[in-house]
Chains A and B, each alone.
Chain A
Amino acid sequence: MEAIAVQNLHKTFRVSHERTSSLKALALSFRRARYEDVHALNGVSFSVDAGETVAVVGKNGSGKSTLLGVMSKVYRPTSGKVVMNGRVSGLLELGAGFHPDLTGIENVYLDGSILGLSRREIRKRFDEIVSFAEIEQFIDAPLRTYSSGMVMRLGFSVAVQVDPDILLVDEVLAVGDEGFQQKCYGKVREFQRLGKTIVFVSHDLKAVRDVATRAIWLDSGDIRADSDVGTVLAAYLSYSVGEGNNSVAP
């Protein structure tokens, strides 16, 4: 069964060269064009079957995050279509709803409801969230007293409680220390066993090799390759090395 269908997707951003938009800018805008159109996606098409784990790779600015943003409905496509069959959960950032003055407990409820969990669902899974994040003794302290690692762990623990059919993940798996990362990947494998569809963006090519069943290489808003992981990564790596791009270490 097809879980995701992306058809001829275009996304164009209008980037302002002014630092802030204001009424003054509006009043003056007839004098000269102060916008530039940036084409983040140029007609991307692909489909994902239910149960697949697809990694999206590409250098910075290739449109990976935009693609995930459109798929999770944060952005509207400029043209083209995205069809998602099932409950979608987009993890574009961990703890997007966290507030520093609230306690860990309060933040778990707030962040959970942003991800679409009801209070009852969160209450039921609360102990699991806290023990997975390994912050039992600090859960009633304000979030501003947490270390950044603790915030990330708590964010991840809430996020994985969402029970979606389709999971969209943007570079958030690499949080915490080695031990916690192992737990994160364990969680991903559990999702795979349950037959969930996963699309994730990552620069960590080792993780891509370990987890993904298929890879898509995006370059300047176009799909350069869409095949099994080995083939795509080989092409992507030889291209990157050829370009002298050191940012993608294997």
Chain B
Amino acid sequence: MLKDFAEVVRYRELLLNLVIRDLKVRYKSSVLGFFWSLTNPLLQVATITIVFKFIMKLTIPNYSAYVLCAFLPWTFFQMSVLDSATSVLFHGHMVKKTYFPREILPASIVLSNLVHFILALGIFFIYLLILGTPILITWLLLPLIIFIQLLLNMGVAFFVSCLNVFYNDIKYVATVVLSLLFYLTPIIYLAEQIVYSGRVPAAYKPLVIGIYTVNPLSFLITAYRKLLLPGYNAAGIHDIPLNYWYLALAAATSLLIFLAGYAFFNSRKWYFAEQV
């Protein structure tokens, strides 16, 4: 695996050029460019805020910021997985005709989504300034969380992109799983609501908490919220501070998924040319 990684380092210019190409193609064909691809999350969050604030009467101040803070890393994860699923097939002509480390294809997709995510975070911080939420020392930990999520996204992207070469319907499976995962991850609701909500029947509580615990994305997205936004105290929901042990667990799971995904990808990558 180290040898494979060294080869990627040797081909880093190709990786960089593919990331640049991806961003250029994405932003070139539209006049609004970058802002165009931000309108989707912004519209989603506006809708969610209206639903929660005015229809469901949730009283947490600046709830939209908490939703957006989770929605942006979620989008980063979702787009990394969906875009990378077809990455090898899309570059089939390159795979068939040239030698290069194949993992560069899904990796470039994840990295260009990372750039996009960081740009979106910039907009998010401007939004925080407008709302007037306090500047926190824990903002400094943001790069660490982003790095952990990068490992997770890469690992899943390796699995999905590799499997999709051999089984064409993996991308549809991924779409379905992602749409379920969206509701199983605390994005439109808060992590505390899982523990404190009296609405979850006692019989289901271990299952719900179990799902939350095995999903590293839950901890990561909760960590984004805890690090970037102040605690909340509203009717029935008491803020639980960030538990760094859970974050460490998420980091370990993410690393494991990354290593397993890369090993899986490497064991099959030299058969792609025969398959695409």
Contacts and interface: CB of A to CB of B under 8 A. Distances in A.
A137 interface: no
A113 B17 contact: yes
A90 B169 contact: no
A92 B29 contact: no
Contact of A97 (B96, B98, B173): B98
B97 A75 contact: no
Contacts of B271: 76
A96 B169 contact: no
B98 A21 contact: no
Contacts of A197: none
A22 interface: yes
B94 interface: yes
Contact of B166 (A21, A69, A76, A116): A21
B182 interface: no
A114 B93 contact: no
A164 to B, nearest CB: 12
Contacts of B13: 113, 117-119
A26 B273 CA distance: 20
A212 to B, nearest CB: 22
A75 B272 CA distance: 9
A113 B166 contact: no
A102 B18 CA distance: 12
A113 B167 contact: no
Contacts of B238: none
Interface string A95-116: 0110101100010011001111
A93 B99 CA distance: 12
Contacts of A23: 167, 169-170, 173
Given A21-B168, A118-B13, A102 B94 contact: no
A106 to B, nearest CB: 7
Contacts of A117: 13
A13 B17 contact: no
A110 B21 contact: yes
Interface string A211-246: 000000000000000000000000000000000000
A110 B93 CA distance: 14
Contacts of A97: 94, 98
Interface residues of B, number: 30
Interface residues of A, number: 33
A179 B18 CA distance: 33
A20 interface: yes
A74 B99 contact: yes
B273 A21 contact: no
Contact of A106 (B21, B93, B96, B99): B21
The A contact surface, by secondary structure, is loop
Given A14-B274, A74-B273, A101-B25, A114 B169 contact: no
Interface string A1-34: 0000000000001100000111111100000000
Contacts of A109: 17
Contacts of A114: 14, 94, 98, 100
A182 to B, nearest CB: 25
A74 B17 contact: no
B25 A102 contact: yes
A109 B17 CA distance: 7
Nearest to B173: A23
Given A92-B98, A99-B25, A110 B167 contact: no
Contacts of A22: 167-169
A2 to B, nearest CB: 21
A13 B276 CA distance: 13
A209 B25 CA distance: 44
Given A21-B166, A22-B167, A96-B93, A110 B17 contact: yes
A125 interface: no
Interface in B5-27: 11, 13-14, 16-18, 21, 24-25
A148 B274 CA distance: 27
Interface string B50-94: 000000000000000000000000000000000000000000011
A73 interface: yes
A110 B28 CA distance: 16
Interface of A: 13-14, 20-26, 69, 72-76, 90, 92-93, 96-97, 99, 101-102, 106, 109-110, 113-119
Interface of B: 11, 13-14, 16-18, 21, 24-25, 28-29, 93-100, 166-170, 173, 270-271, 273-275
10 contacts: A21-B167, A23-B170, A25-B167, A72-B98, A75-B273, A76-B270, A92-B98, A96-B93, A102-B21, A119-B17
List the 10 closest A-B pairs by CB distance, nearest first: A93-B97, A113-B14, A73-B99, A92-B97, A96-B97, A113-B17, A76-B270, A113-B13, A110-B17, A23-B167
